[in-house]
Amino acid sequence: MVINYIYASIVSSFTGLYLFFWIIGVVNFLKKRDLESFKLSGLMFCALALASGPVLIYSTETLSTRLTLYNYMALMNYGAILLYIDIITKRFKLSGWTLTLLKIGLCLIVIAIIGSLTACFLDRQDLIFIFSDQLPNNLFLIHAFEGAKLSPVVRPISLFGTILTILVNLWLLYRLYKQRLKGAELLIMAGIIVSLFAKANDFIMTSGIGYYLIPLGFLSYFFEIVYFQLNLADSNS
């Protein structure tokens, strides 16, 4: 279908951009050898994985491999969130007990995903997914996962992770708004708003609402990475 080619073209373009940014990030880390540069290059790698993941899932033949890739993408997603929180809060000097609790919750989600990914590597997808002949009400999910759905045990964990992600974005948006950001720093605000939209879209899509909705997680950190690249260019000039 035309929509598949359009989506593949968009995702491929973002994959190329993230690959370029990641290479710059690695070069910067090799020059500076500091923890901040390492975290930033890690965030860019996670964004690269999120951008290339949907196309890999869509083009992979075996269902078991697609389900493993899905778990890998989830790990990259929450890894990116934790790195992003750490980078942003240190750069803009943000802290608070609410943030600490949210980070603990996200770490628990990461542990759960690692367990899920381990089950997939051990060919025990039945512990994570249920399989039926009933197809989801979404074009991408039909081609990617057929009749596979998260089990009743795993689904609440996924929902909890989505809620935590939205709460983190709202917390950051509120705290950064209070700082009255200006100039290129407004890219951070724009990125958080886009991230909220992308997370809501992906959750609605996986809930079976919206036949033509497509994964948009790869958009989550684009504006922030552009901001970091601008700062990197200024620091090297």
Q: How confident is the model at residue 123 (pLDDT cuts 50, 70, 90)?
A: confident
92-to-50, 89, 113, 115, 185 alpha-carbon distances in Å: 25, 5, 29, 33, 10
pTM beyond 0.75: the answer is: yes
What is the distance between the alpha carbons of residues 96 and 6, in angstroms, rounded to a whole number?
Answer: 42
208-to-39, 108, 146, 201 alpha-carbon distances in Å: 35, 26, 13, 11
Residue 227: the pLDDT is 83
Q: How confident is the model at residue 118 (pLDDT cuts 50, 70, 90)?
A: very high
Cα distance between the two ends of the chain: 46
- For residue 95, pLDDT over 90 is answered with no
Mean pLDDT confidence for 93-97: 88
188-to-83, 91, 124, 173, 228 alpha-carbon distances in Å: 15, 11, 40, 9, 9
